[in-house]
Amino acid sequence: MKEWKRVLGLTAMFAALAMFSFAAPAEQGPGGGRAGAGGEGRAKQMKEAATIVAKYVGKEVGLTGDKMDKFVAAYVAEQEAASKRMMEAFKAGGGAGGDAFLKLNQENQKAMQAMLQANLTEEQAKKAAGIIGMGGLDRTVATWLGANLEEAKINQALPALAKYNKAAAELMQKMREKQGAGGEEMRAELQKLREATAKELAPIIGEELATRFRESRMTMGGFGGRGGAGGEGRRRGGEGGAAPKAK
């Protein structure tokens, strides 16, 4: 049980950190806080990433025209709202992690599901939820944008990333059902998934970004952890700043 709650708690923490870039600039103002002078640029980058992901999801479920526009706007708005909730919880609790963040992450997932149901048919909502999984697509896309990866290549890579995201979410669900059994086994399975996905991504996004994805730790969507799209980007001056340029 302890292992199960630790892994799920880490997932909630990573989800929280993934969301902060939306809310932090509005709270801190230009040049203030963690993001520094790049805060507003990072928020813009996250919004651009959310828009790219929303368009991909919308296309996959068959949206066009006004329906696509409405869905994209609703998706971005929900991600911004989730970011604000996470930021408020972070400020109130003094840090990310623990049962409270696990609960909030689950609430954010429910809010996303409600948004899908309000803007899509039942069949479309189910398919979209499978693509989105537990989240993380936006964060990874934002990392790639920060590495100057072309949007065309990002769109080409999204199917492999979404496939990974769905498989990772299914592994997490299995761990919930086992109530803590098989934590080491699940991490091994995630590592296999990352390695296979990195091989699929490398010809599209380049070896360096694929390696960062492969070396990321316990993540949804390939972000966060030492050597991952989160940790590596921060060591190199931030994902929206001095991250290596994609070739």
**Which pLDDT does position 34 carry in this prediction?**
36
pLDDT one-digit tens code per residue, 194-237: 999 999 999 999 999 999 988 875 444 433 333 333 333 333 33
Instruction: Please give the pLDDT value at position 97.
Output: 55
The whole-number pLDDT of residue 203 equals 97
Residue 176 lies in a domain: yes
Q: Model confidence at 182, in pLDDT bands (50, 70, 90)?
A: low
Check residues 246 and 171 and name the one with the higher pLDDT.
Answer: 171
On whether residue 245 sits in a domain, the answer given is: no
Residue 243 inside a domain? The answer is no
pLDDT of residue 25: 44
**Residue 75 in domain:** yes
| Residues written for the chain | 247
Work out the average pLDDT over 117-144: 91
* pLDDT per residue as tens digits for the range 84-101: 888 887 777 655 556 677
- The verdict on residue 246 lying in a domain is no
Residue 159 included in any domain: yes
How does pLDDT run across 147-173, given as a tens digit for each residue? Answer: 999 999 999 999 999 999 888 888 877
**More reliable by pLDDT, 37 or 132:** 132
**Confidence at residue 39, expressed as pLDDT on a 0 to 100 scale:** 63
Residue 67 pLDDT exceeds 90: yes
Name the residue with higher pLDDT: 132 or 71: 71
Does residue 185 fall inside a structural domain?
yes
Q: Domain count of the chain?
A: 1
pLDDT category, 141, cuts 50, 70, 90?
Answer: very high
Residue 134 or residue 150, greater confidence: 150
Q: Is residue 217 a contact partner of residue 225, using CB atoms and an 8 Å limit?
A: yes
Q: Which of 66-70, 120-124, 177-181 has the lowest mean pLDDT?
A: 177-181
pLDDT tens for 16-29 read: 444 544 554 444 33
pTM of this prediction? 0.74
225 occurs within a structural domain = yes
Range of the domain at 86: 2-235
Give the C-alpha separation, 133 to 169, whole Å: 6
